[in-house]
Each structure stands twice: as C-alpha cells, then as structure tokens.
Amino acid sequence: MSVVLTTFLVATLASFLVAMAIVATTRWHRPLTADLPTQGPQKLHSTPVPRIGGVALAAGLLAGIIAAKLGVAGTGLLPHWLIFLGALSIAFAFGLAEDLTHRVGPWTRLLATFAAASIVHIGAGLAVPRFDFAPLDLLLRAHWLLPPLLTMFCVGAIAHAYNLADGLNGLLGGLAVIACCILGSAAGAQGDAHSSLVAAALGGAAIGYLVLNFPRARVFAGDSGAYLLGTAIAFLGITVVMRNPSVSPWLAFVAVIYPFTDTTFAIVRRLAQGRGIMQPDAEHLHSLLARWLSRQGALARRRADRGVANPLASSIVLTAYVPFAITAVQFARDTESLVILSIGFVLTYCVAWVLLWRSVTAHDARLSEASAE
C-alpha cells in the first residue's frame, strides 16, 4: 500500500471516529457546543447540532500527517511538519474558542490566521512566489515586505472565505475535498510527494467528517473546522506553487474560487447596502439556492421535506464546481487558460446569484403582500 493511500485512510478513519464520538456524547456537551437554529440569519437547520466538528478534522489531519511522516521517515519529506501544525493550531484554537464561548469576533479570528501565516513564513519560508502576471510579479519583488504581507492576506482571506462557505450540509467539507483533489493531483503529476501527502491527509480528514455532516448533519465543523480547513488549504496551495515552478499560481486560485468569489461578492454586497462586511446574512449563493429549492413543488408542500433543500443545494453547488476543477487540473501549467476559466466561473456565479436573488425576493414580496391582506 502506498504512503499516500495509507495517509488518506488513516486521516479518514481518525476523523470519522472522533466525529462519531462527538455525536455519541452530545447529551453531555450540548449546553456548551450546540449550534442553535436561532443564532444567525444564515442558519438553515431546525434542531440543535454540535458545532465542534473541527475537533474531528484536526484529529484526522494530525493522524494523517503523523502516518505520512512515519511512512517517509529518512527521506527528508515533510521537513517542517511541526511548524505547519503549530501554525494551524492557532487558527484552530481561536475558532474553537468562538465555537464554545461565542465571544471571539471575526476580526480576532482573522488576526489569528495572519499570525499562523507569519509563523510558517518565518519558520518554513512559505510565501506567495509569483502570479505569472508581469506587473504583479514586479510589484511582488519591489520590497522584501511584500511577499510576507501578501501571504498573510491570502491565508487570512481564504480561511475567512471557507468560514463563510460553511452554510449547508456537506458544502464546507465538499469544497475542501475538491481543493485537495485539484492541488494533490497537480502535485502528483509533478512528482511532488510532499504536497501529495499533505493533500491526502487533509482530504481524508474532510471525508471522515463528511460522513456525519452529509446529507443529514449530525455535527457541524464550526469556526474551528472552517478556519482549520481554510488555513491548511491556503498553506497547501502556496506550497504546491512554490515547490513546482511549472504549475501556474492560478491553479491554487481555482482550487478556492467558490469560497473566494462568494466572500468577495458578500463584501461588495454588504458595503453597497451600508452594512458591516463581517455582518452575517442569508444572501450567499448557496443560501439563496437552498431557499429557492425549499419553495419548489413537493418540498414547498410538505414541511417534513424542507430539510431536503439543504443537502440538495449543497450537492448542486459542488456538482457545478467539479467541471471547473477537472478543467483546472488539465491546464495546471497554462496560466492563460486558468485565467479564462476563473473569469468564466465568476461570471457564472454572478448570473446564478442575480437569478436566484430575484426569484427569492419576488417570492418574499408576494408572501408579505398576502400576509398584509
């Protein structure tokens, strides 16, 4: 059995077992860990669910990395694994503190991801190496502070984007698995065993958690899981580009393009509406899709079936993302093609959002008129 497969299986099993333990002991920690349907406008579930699935994700990633390190002992692979895990533990810890206390604000959690990025830059030399776009590459080399600052920005932005994407059953985990497949496939094609092992550990941890999060959510990743996955995927994307000069940096962008586009769109939307950029809402593309689906046909007629709209919306988003992911891997070395692919994705997202928003708001307006009468 290859080390990559062993790493994947160990990570999957460890994550699944810890997630099972969280679910099995819910009655003892529910007062501390329950995510209530009334705790935010973006909530789509109807019953309390423990929101500490990040513990399972962390356990799976840790187990997978240890298995990988044991499997490649003496080869020099994974040289900075303790630094990476230590940095990830910061993002995870601040997220877990929010899951348990609800007192750690989004700006504080964002600063935690900046700190994590700073640690891996100083301790392991991780930095965004290039854009394959001359003006930006010249800017990147203009001052020695720009690479670490840009790395901090990218890591923080991606981590926060994954947190906002945690809105439907299976969506966060599914996005993480797709990103790991994109980056792991590109790394494997270049003979980069280091990045392939990390992708296997991270993807395995996400799949083990997904078993208990989709289609029915018995556990949520919470902020701890979202920030852990987002920060780890950001590290992995930068690592793949650094270690493989022939791989376009735009591949790493396509690997995170859904959460990045959704978050950017949310920031622009909130600024246009005069609201704080960190203020939650239910107008993400996946949230609108779930609301639209819940009002269609049998799902709208039967209250018991409305919960189907949540995982169904997640499935549609992930399925639509897959062709872009497959195409990205095929053109991993071709920056021009990846830029065109990215533009196509963003345009598709914008059109889909506008159509769903118009339909949902029109339906809400009709309901308001009916209730007023």
Q: What is the pLDDT of residues 217-257, one digit of tens each?
A: 999 999 999 999 999 999 999 999 999 999 999 999 999 99
Closest CA to 252 of 320, 339, 363: 339
User: What's this model's pTM, rounded to 2 decimal places?
Assistant: 0.93
Percent of the chain exceeding pLDDT 70 equals 92
- Enter the DSSP assignment of 295: T
Average pLDDT, rounded, for the chain: 91
Q: Is 76 a residue whose pLDDT tops 90?
A: no
Question: How far is Cα 82 from Cα 66, in angstroms, rounded to an integer?
Answer: 10
pLDDT of residue 369: 66
Residue spans per domain, the chain: 3-372
Q: What is the pLDDT of residues 265-277, one digit of tens each?
A: 999 999 988 888 8
Reported in sequence order, the residue ranges of the chain that DSSP labels E, i.e. its strands, are 34-35, 49-50
Average pLDDT, stretch 44-55?
81
Percent of the chain exceeding pLDDT 90 equals 75
Reported in sequence order, the residue ranges of 30-152 that DSSP labels E, i.e. its strands, are 34-35, 49-50
- Measured between alpha carbons, how far apart are the two ends of the chain, in Å? 68
Q: What is the pLDDT of residues 197-218, one digit of tens each?
A: 999 999 999 999 999 999 999 9
Residue predicted with more confidence, 138 or 341: 341
Q: What is the pLDDT of residues 273-319, one digit of tens each?
A: 888 888 888 899 999 999 999 887 644 555 445 578 899 999 999 99
